[in-house]
């Protein structure tokens, strides 16, 4: 064997599939798909750099039928067709491989596995096989290892003779025997009916190869024996189908598999065409005699004196736009694509309190645009120095919209890396990218959404975070003490019921106590766990169960709310300041953190108690809540244009009563409370693409009854069914769906091989236009309310948004004008074919306001 020389054999179809489904559906500027090729190239480069192979080949399937189809016509039957977005990337990948001088091997009627098997067997050199296909484990030996791309494409398990049994449960020479027994649904290899993974591995562990299993068949239990007898021929055929050929006629010499690295200019040009920016800025990947990577020339001015700062400020006074950032005690400023000005604090005996006020007039000037990475964070920082940031452009927010509502939270470092700059050039990068982002937002139809909704919302959220929500500290302490005492009491009672002490917070220890020491049986059809679902099914079996459930509930409330609230509340004002996250959710909804005030329980008594501790900041003040009534159902009526839905809302008919009347086939006046509740579950379930099983759980019915309810709903509201089907079809064709205001959400799940993941993608495609539009509407309403409060110089403050609800801390005497503003701004935030309606309530606590 050649020492220190390695051969890499890549399963081309497997790897490009993994890459396609692991990465978002990327396109270059001309609209050509590239995500699969990009992912493939990344792992190839990772292999080259880590393993330093001398030889490489990539094997591809050349289509069906193969010689295995001659053995069994149904081989691989049922495999879904390759998506067009992936199929169009295969020729591109081969073009890249040719440019890399990497040999790609394909042969009519022969599969890639057999080509790899033959090449791995042909040469006396250490060989690494790269694939997401476990079939290739049979090739593992002292010479061959498999890089198994188990999760995505960047994480791989290296399978060797030493660990294959740990990874897969059998040795390499037993892989085909395992397939012969348990089959392989992905290849439509039948195996032995009734013999699954667990039994097959047990048989192989005991007897080895399948031939030996059959020699000892009379020793097996009757059921297993009968199944093996009945599946004898299928087992033989399955083993043949699973066996990789290692003797295909291939004329390649080992020297033919030498490839180019560093890469030549052709590779660089292809990467440039497909805009693989992270690969383009890595000069070590390319032959420097052929490729000279043009570095972005940025002049850096290290500003170390007050005189130079004054000169910079004089320069800024002649501009109408500049980029501004603060990072690691450095103030960065740029008003061109080529020159960065850095002011290092401390190093030059400067302090922020000395330097930042010098920029105050520029940062506050409404006529000068400031480009920043994260405006809200910058506003909080500047606030400490008495500076208000006005007229800004937030690039993190632009990237969020352009990403198809994928979570974005760029740091200075990650932003610069993305666009090919050094971290010290952050402001030059920001300055250069603004016009690019504007063009992309315009092209994607989201420039108005950015300028009119998302950007002005930043100021609203900043002020809401500054405002905070007051809590009754003394009441919170009392509740906390009550919870602590109850937890202590419950702990002793649980120990008494169990007959021993254990960690009640540990699911593992709870499981041991319940199922081993107390001998409780798992509910039929449920996996062994101590989840709430399982424990609720065991309540009647032992008095300890209710106590454990109560303990968990109180402990969660105490650790999630009571303790954090006591720590987070301002010691003087007793205000809690949450953070509103604008770029985290896939629907455009805002989320709340540190603490999460959107997630406080509302339905149970404990949640109500928690809401009672939130009070107005001013004496005799009032908490006012304004909540959209059924906004997503109203949007469903608007989007679907279903005549019956439109009629109900236009005539102010209760939609849940109307649906109940239709489903249960009774007059409106005979609809019972139970009927209305069930109809409400159907109405809201339809929005989220609920299944008959899910609905049956919600309304406590049989699955058949739930199925009938859904069918009746769609038969009644025919426009809704057609609309939902259109949403899914649009997402499948385009890869995304949009809201009324143009917000996009990429639906990558629809590309998945996994049925449940695709089902989730379909539900997301149905719901996103509704939930996303509702999110856009309440954002528009928030901006209007904020502006109107400012215009009328009100002292009342907007303090919280929870999905479709706004909360205002109203001062005494302003209650009526606040309610009027909320109603007008929220109900006119969007013009729909049905009216938007808000419900307003008030009280002396948050609880009373509901």
Confidence at 303, pLDDT banded by 50, 70, 90: very high
- Average pLDDT of span 815-827: 98
**HSE (side-chain half, CA atoms, 13 Å) at 119:** 32
Which residue would you say has higher pLDDT here, 79 or 794?
A: 794
DSSP conformation letters of 267-335: HHHHHHHTT-HHHHT-GGGB-TTT--------EEEEE-SHHHHHHHHHHHTT-SEEEEEEETTEEEEES
Contact 643, 829 (CB under 8 A): no
Backbone angles phi, psi at 334, to 5 degrees: -150, 135
Instruction: Reduce the DSSP state of residue 149 to 3 states and report it.
Output: strand
- Average pLDDT of span 284-292: 86
- What pLDDT was estimated at residue 78? 67
- What pLDDT was estimated at residue 216? 85
Q: Dihedral angle at the C-alpha atoms of 188, 193, 199, 202, nearest 10 degrees? A: -80
Q: Residue 673 and residue 670: Cα distance in Å, rounded?
A: 10
The tokens for 311 are 């000169």
Does 342 score more than 60 pLDDT? yes
Distances (CA, A) of 524 to 331, 527, 534, 546, 840: 63, 9, 10, 20, 47
Contact 151, 754 (CB under 8 A): no
Q: Residue 588 and residue 605: Cα distance in Å, rounded?
A: 31
Q: Residue 653 and residue 676: Cα distance in Å, rounded?
A: 13
Which bin fits 652, alpha (ψ -120 to 50), beta or left (φ > 0)?
left
Global confidence as pTM: 0.75
Does 642 score more than 80 pLDDT? yes
pLDDT in tens, 476-525: 999 999 999 999 999 999 999 999 999 999 999 999 999 999 989 888 77
Contact 560, 601 (CB under 8 A): no
- What pLDDT was estimated at residue 297? 74
- Average pLDDT of span 396-417: 88
Instruction: Reduce the DSSP state of residue 529 to 3 states and report it.
Output: coil
Mean pLDDT for the chain overall: 89
DSSP conformation letters of 56-76: EEEE----S--HHHHH-TTTT
- What pLDDT was estimated at residue 742? 95
Q: Residue 467 and residue 621: Cα distance in Å, rounded?
A: 15
Contact 246, 123 (CB under 8 A): no
Note the helical H segments in 146-297. 164-168, 175-182, 197-207, 210-215, 222-230, 232-242, 265-273, 277-280
pLDDT in tens, 67-76: 877 787 777 7
Backbone angles phi, psi at 294, to 5 degrees: -75, 115
Instruction: Reduce the DSSP state of residue 5 to 3 states and report it.
Output: strand
Q: Residue 641 and residue 720: Cα distance in Å, rounded?
A: 8
Instruction: Reduce the DSSP state of residue 558 to 3 states and report it.
Output: helix
- What pLDDT was estimated at residue 773? 97
Contact 31, 271 (CB under 8 A): no
Does 806 score more than 60 pLDDT? yes
pLDDT in tens, 40-64: 999 899 889 888 999 999 999 887 6
Number of alpha helices (DSSP H) and beta strands (DSSP E) in the chain: 38, 23
Q: Residue 74 and residue 184: Cα distance in Å, rounded?
A: 13
pLDDT in tens, 563-577: 999 999 999 999 999
pLDDT in tens, 210-252: 888 888 888 888 888 888 888 888 778 888 888 888 888 988 9
- Cβ within 8 Å of residue 224, ≥6 positions away: 195, 199, 203
Q: Residue 629 and residue 832: Cα distance in Å, rounded?
A: 14
Q: Residue 486 and residue 141: Cα distance in Å, rounded?
A: 61
pLDDT in tens, 598-637: 988 777 777 788 899 999 999 999 999 999 999 999 999 9
Most confident of 539-548, 647-656, 780-789: 780-789
- What pLDDT was estimated at residue 151? 59
- Average pLDDT of span 751-771: 87
Could you tell me which of 657, 625, 659 has the C-alpha nearest to residue 644? 659
Tell me the sheet residues that pair with 58: 10, 104
- What pLDDT was estimated at residue 280? 87
Could you tell me which of 347, 459, 468, 320 has the C-alpha nearest to residue 799? 468
- What pLDDT was estimated at residue 748? 81
Confidence at 388, pLDDT banded by 50, 70, 90: very high
- Cβ within 8 Å of residue 593, ≥6 positions away: 578, 579, 581
Angle at 318 between CA 313 and CA 323, to 5 degrees: 65
The tokens for 89 are 């990337």
- Average pLDDT of span 264-269: 92
Q: Residue 727 and residue 168: Cα distance in Å, rounded?
A: 41
- What pLDDT was estimated at residue 246? 86
Q: Residue 768 and residue 676: Cα distance in Å, rounded?
A: 26
Q: Residue 744 and residue 768: Cα distance in Å, rounded?
A: 9
Distances (CA, A) of 17 to 22, 23, 159, 244: 8, 10, 20, 21
Instruction: Reduce the DSSP state of residue 559 to 3 states and report it.
Output: helix
Backbone angles phi, psi at 842, to 5 degrees: -150, 160
Confidence at 698, pLDDT banded by 50, 70, 90: confident
Rounded to a whole number, what is the largest CA-CA distance in the chain?
Answer: 96
Q: Residue 547 and residue 539: Cα distance in Å, rounded?
A: 10
Does 4 score more than 80 pLDDT? no
Q: Residue 91 and residue 552: Cα distance in Å, rounded?
A: 56
Confidence at 2, pLDDT banded by 50, 70, 90: low
Q: How many residues does the chain have?
A: 850
Contact 593, 465 (CB under 8 A): no
Contact 121, 152 (CB under 8 A): no
- Going by the DSSP 8-state scheme, the letter that residue 83 receives in this structure is P
Contact 365, 390 (CB under 8 A): yes
Confidence at 295, pLDDT banded by 50, 70, 90: low
- What pLDDT was estimated at residue 153? 53
- What pLDDT was estimated at residue 61? 87
- Average pLDDT of span 337-345: 92
**HSE (side-chain half, CA atoms, 13 Å) at 751:** 24
Q: Residue 699 and residue 707: Cα distance in Å, rounded?
A: 12
- What pLDDT was estimated at residue 1? 53
Distances (CA, A) of 369 to 67, 325, 363, 376, 573: 67, 13, 8, 15, 35
- Cβ within 8 Å of residue 15, ≥6 positions away: 40, 43, 130, 131, 132, 149, 153
* R_g over Cα of the chain: 32
- What pLDDT was estimated at residue 362? 95
Contact 439, 398 (CB under 8 A): no
């Amino acid at each position: 064997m050649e020492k220190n020389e390695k051969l890499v054999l890549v399963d081309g179809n497997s790897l490009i599939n993994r890459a396609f489904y692991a990465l978002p559906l990327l396109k270059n500027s001309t609209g050509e798909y590239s995500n699969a090729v990009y992912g493939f190239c990344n792992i190839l480069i990772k292999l080259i750099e880590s393993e330093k192979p001398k030889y490489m080949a990539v094997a591809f399937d050349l289509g069906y039928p193969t010689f295995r189809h001659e053995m069994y016509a149904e081989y691989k039957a049922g495999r879904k067709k390759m998506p067009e977005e992936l199929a169009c990337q295969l020729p591109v990948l081969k073009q890249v491989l040719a440019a890399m001088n990497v040999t790609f091997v394909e042969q009519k009627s022969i599969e890639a596995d057999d080509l790899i098997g033959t090449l791995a067997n042909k040469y006396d050199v250490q060989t690494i096989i790269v694939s997401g296909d476990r079939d290739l484990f049979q090739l593992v030996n002292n010479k061959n290892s498999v890089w198994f791309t188990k999760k995505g494409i960047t994480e791989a398990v290296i399978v060797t003779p030493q660990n294959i049994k740990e990874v897969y449960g059998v040795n390499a020479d037993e892989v085909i025997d395992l397939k012969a027994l348990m089959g392989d649904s992905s290849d439509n290899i039948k195996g032995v009916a009734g013999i699954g993974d667990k039994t097959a591995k047990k048989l192989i562990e005991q007897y080895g190869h399948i031939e030996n299993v059959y020699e000892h068949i009379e020793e097996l239990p009757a059921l297993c024996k009968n199944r093996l007898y009945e599946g004898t021929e299928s087992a033989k055929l399955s083993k043949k189908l699973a066996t990789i050929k290692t003797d295909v006629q291939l004329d390649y010499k080992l020297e033919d598999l030498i490839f180019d690295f560093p890469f030549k200019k052709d590779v660089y040009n292809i990467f440039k065409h497909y805009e693989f920016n992270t690969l383009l800025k890595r000069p070590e990947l390319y032959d420097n005699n052929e490729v000279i990577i043009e570095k972005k020339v940025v002049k850096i001015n290290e500003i170390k004196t007050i005189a130079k700062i004054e000169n910079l400020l004089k320069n800024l006074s002649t501009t109408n736009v500049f980029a501004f950032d603060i990072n690691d005690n450095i103030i960065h400023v740029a008003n061109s694509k080529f020159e960065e000005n850095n002011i290092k604090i401390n190093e030059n005996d400067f302090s922020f309190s000395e330097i930042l006020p010098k920029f105050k007039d520029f940062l506050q000037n409404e006529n000068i645009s400031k480009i920043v990475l994260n405006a809200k964070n910058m506003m909080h920082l500047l606030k400490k120095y008495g500076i208000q940031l006005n007229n800004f452009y937030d690039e993190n927010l632009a990237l969020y919209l352009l990403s198809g509502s994928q979570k974005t939270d760029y740091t200075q470092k990650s932003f610069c890396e993305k666009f090919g700059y050094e971290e010290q050039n952050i402001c030059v990068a920001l300055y250069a990218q603004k016009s690019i982002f504007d063009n992309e937002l315009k092209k994607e139809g989201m420039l108005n959404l950015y300028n009119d909704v998302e950007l002005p919302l930043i100021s609203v959220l900043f002020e809401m975070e500054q405002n905070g929500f007051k809590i009754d500290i003394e009441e919170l302490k009392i509740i906390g003490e009550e919870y602590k005492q109850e937890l202590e009491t419950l702990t002793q009672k649980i120990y008494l019921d169990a007959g021993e002490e254990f960690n009640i917070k540990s699911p593992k220890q709870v499981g041991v106590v319940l199922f081993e020491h107390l001998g409780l049986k798992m509910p039929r059809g449920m996996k062994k766990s101590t989840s709430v679902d399982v424990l609720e099914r065991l309540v009647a079996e032992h008095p300890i169960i209710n106590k454990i459930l109560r303990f968990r509930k109180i402990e969660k409330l105490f650790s999630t709310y009571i303790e954090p609230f006591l720590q987070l509340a301002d010691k003087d004002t007793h205000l809690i300041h949450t953070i509103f996250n604008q770029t985290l959710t896939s629907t455009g909804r805002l989320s709340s953190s540190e603490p999460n005030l959107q997630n406080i329980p509302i339905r149970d008594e404990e949640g109500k108690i928690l809401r009672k501790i939130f009070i107005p900041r001013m004496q005799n003040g009032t908490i006012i809540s304004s909540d959209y009534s059924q906004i997503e159902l109203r949007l469903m009526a608007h989007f679907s244009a279903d005549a019956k839905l439109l009629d109900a809302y236009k005539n102010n008919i209760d939609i849940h009563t109307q649906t109940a009347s239709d489903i249960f086939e009774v007059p409106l006046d005979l609809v019972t409370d139970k009927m209305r509740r069930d109809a409400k579950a159907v109405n809201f379930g339809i929005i989220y693409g609920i299944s008959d099983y899910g609905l049956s759980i919600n309304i406590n019915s049989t699955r058949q009854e739930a199925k009938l309810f859904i069918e009746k709903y769609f038969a009644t509201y025919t426009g809704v069914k057609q609309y939902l089907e259109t949403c899914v079809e649009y997402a499948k064709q385009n890869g995304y769906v949009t809201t009324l205001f143009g917000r996009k959400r990429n639906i990558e799940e629809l590309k998945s091989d996994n049925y449940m993941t695709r089902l989730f993608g379909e539900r997301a495609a149905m719901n996103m236009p509704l939930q996303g539009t509702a999110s856009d509407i309440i954002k528009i309403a928030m901006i209007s309310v904020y502006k109107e409060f400012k215009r009328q110089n009100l002292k009342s403050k907007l303090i919280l948004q929870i999905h479709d609800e706004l909360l205002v801390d109203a001062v005494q005497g302003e209650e009526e004008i606040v309610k009027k503003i909320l109603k007008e701004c929220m109900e006119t935030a969007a013009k729909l074919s049905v009216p938007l309606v808000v419900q307003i309530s008030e009280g002396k606590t948050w609880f009373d306001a509901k």
